[in-house]
């Protein structure tokens, strides 16, 4: 049962490396690869029989194929890549349900900014990919409704409501960032030091992806009433790329 997580972790490292390579250079991409693979939280969940690492893989593949779509000069490949990007976005929802909204909201400025300048056909293909990837989710909801009635669907909304707007302890605003640094040790602490005392060595190609996506996602997590360590897993590849950039 651990094999899917182990394989997904390996594919995540490759995908993260390719994303960093497209954004920066080979040296920075290698630094990001070694940084991600050395984080204790990543190593820990790579051995768990859970959907968390496959979920991160889907997010990374959605970003990777969207970058391939932007970089490709061939229209047929653009259509193929944007379809796959939408597919993996909705597939991630099947794996981790409403938790997908956190990275999706963080990615929205980057996606909408780059997609609004494209042809309508490419936008339709992106939406089509989302619909195709949503088929397992629709089937799951259908069978849940058949077996448990409307409670099988509303219970999902009750769960996300409790996680997002339940009793909120403002001490979390202080504890969560420290927990994040602890869980991403040593890269998280080194990144903070580099961020304070240095500046990026060169201009970033996709600032909304490199800076906006992790910042928005982290702010959403800080505002949630309950968070667990695995909630931060999808941010670790972005942190490793940020660390490599600095």
Q: What pLDDT does 164 receive? A: 54
Q: What pTM does this model have? A: 0.89
Model confidence over 75-96: pLDDT tens digits? 999 999 999 999 999 999 888 8
Examine the pLDDT at 237 and tell me if it is beyond 90: yes
Percentage of the chain exceeding pLDDT 90: 42
How many CB atoms lie under 10 A from the CB of residue 27?
Answer: 10
pLDDT band at 97 (very low <50, low <70, confident <90, very high): confident
Lowest mean pLDDT across 61-70, 148-157, 171-180: 171-180
For residue 37, give both structure tokens.
Answer: 């693979």
Residue pair 1/49 in contact (Cβ under 8 Å)? The answer is yes
Model confidence over 115-164: pLDDT tens digits? 998 999 999 999 999 999 999 988 988 888 888 787 767 776 666 656 55
How many CB atoms lie under 10 A from the CB of residue 47?
Answer: 12
Q: Is 174 exposed, middle or buried (0-12, 13-18, 19+ CB in 10 A)?
A: exposed
Q: How far apart are CA 244 and CA 60, in angstroms?
A: 17
Q: Which residues of 225-244 are buried (b: 16+ CB within 10 A; e: fewer)?
A: eebeebbbbbbbbbbbbbbb
Percentage of the chain exceeding pLDDT 70: 83
Query: Which residue bears the tokens 């490419």?
Result: 122
- The closest alpha carbon to 65, from 5, 105, 3, 114, belongs to 114
């Amino acid at each position: 049962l651990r094999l899917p997580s182990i394989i997904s972790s390996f594919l995540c490292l490759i995908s993260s490396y390719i994303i960093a390579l497209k954004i920066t250079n080979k040296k920075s991409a290698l630094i990001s690869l070694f940084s991600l693979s050395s984080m204790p939280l990543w190593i820990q969940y790579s051995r768990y029989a859970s959907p968390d690492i496959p979920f991160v893989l889907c997010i990374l593949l959605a970003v990777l194929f969207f970058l391939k779509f932007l970089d490709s000069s061939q229209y047929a490949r653009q259509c193929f890549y944007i379809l796959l990007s939408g597919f993996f976005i909705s597939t991630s929802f099947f794996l981790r349900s409403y938790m997908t909204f956190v990275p999706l909201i963080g990615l929205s400025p980057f996606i909408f900014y780059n997609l609004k300048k494209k042809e309508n056909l490419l936008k339709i293909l992106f939406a089509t990919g989302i619909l195709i990837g949503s088929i397992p989710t629709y089937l799951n909801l259908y069978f849940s409704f058949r077996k448990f009635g409307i409670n099988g669907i509303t219970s999902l909304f009750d769960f996300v409501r409790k996680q997002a707007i339940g009793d909120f302890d403002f001490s979390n605003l202080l504890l969560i960032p420290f927990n994040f640094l602890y869980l991403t040790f040593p890269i998280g602490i080194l990144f903070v030091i580099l961020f304070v005392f240095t500046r990026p060595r060169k201009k970033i190609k996709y600032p909304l992806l490199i800076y906006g996506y992790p910042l928005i996602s982290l702010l959403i997590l800080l505002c949630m009433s309950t968070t667990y360590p695995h909630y931060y897993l999808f941010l670790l590849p972005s942190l490793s790329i940020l660390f490599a950039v600095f």
